[in-house]
Amino acid sequence: MVEVRGLTKMFMMDGSGVEVLKGIDLEVADHETLSILGVSGSGKTTLLQILGLLDHPSGGSVHYNGIDVFQGDERKKAEFRNRKVGFVFQFHHLLPEFTALENAMMPAIIGGMSKNEALRKAEITLTEAGLGDRLSHKPGELSGGEQQRVAVVRAMMMEPDVLLADEPTGNLDRETGRKIEDLLLELNQKRGTILIIATHNMELAVRMDRTLGLKDGRLNDF
């Protein structure tokens, strides 16, 4: 379970502090899917980056299964992030010089998995995502939807407890975006991974178990 208490985030702008998140409280249960709905600039990305340990809160706490994840040193936080959290960005951030297979393998290799095991797992998961005939293609040879599917597979390689997706269909046409949504929900159902999506897309938001609105730095029922 993910449990957030009193989470705040402040940025310094022009010599003064701007509070983007103002005492966020949130609980997300195992296997749950949650959408956080808000306009651009509302703090959705900041919240997800903190949940994914890509940024630090100014105050409050984030617990995963009772563990305060910001209490450890940087090495422990990096290890936790690699093993327990997957992140899908609006832009796929694939490395252009590597193939789809190599991009998908990377988190597993970094996490200490043997090359042969990482290769086997990446092949299976990419094939399940409909990319079995695109394994040797580099990002520039893939469509936008195919690139995003590779990014989703890469995020799932370590079988994280939580998958965070920040506007995962924001750069895709409606039909392609729907396929990415289907893939994310399928992974949630098959593997029991908590899925938290930040979006301004109402059609995507309502497909989740629960939707919360983020406005003026606070979360509210939608």
Domains of the chain: 30-56+74-221 (3.40.50.300)
In tens, the pLDDT along 129-149 reads: 888 999 999 999 999 889 988
Q: What is the pLDDT of residue 155?
A: 87
Q: What is the pLDDT of residues 153-175, one digit of tens each?
A: 898 888 888 999 998 887 777 88
Q: What pLDDT does 51 receive?
A: 93
The pTM (predicted TM-score) of the whole model is 0.88
Q: What is the pLDDT of residue 129?
A: 83
> What was the pLDDT predicted at 196?
94
C-alpha torsion 165→167→173→175, nearest 10: 40
Give dist(CA 103, CA 194) in Å, integer: 23
Identify the H or E element spanning 168.
none
pLDDT score for 48: 93
Which amino acid does the sequence have at 170?
G
Report yes or no: 176 and 182 within 8 Å, Cβ to Cβ.
no
Q: Which of 44-53, 159-168, 177-186 has the lowest mean pLDDT?
A: 177-186
Asked if pLDDT for residue 70 goes beyond 90, the answer is no
Q: Distance (Å, rounded) from C-alpha 104 to C-alpha 220?
A: 36
Which 3 state secondary structure label does DSSP give 201?
coil
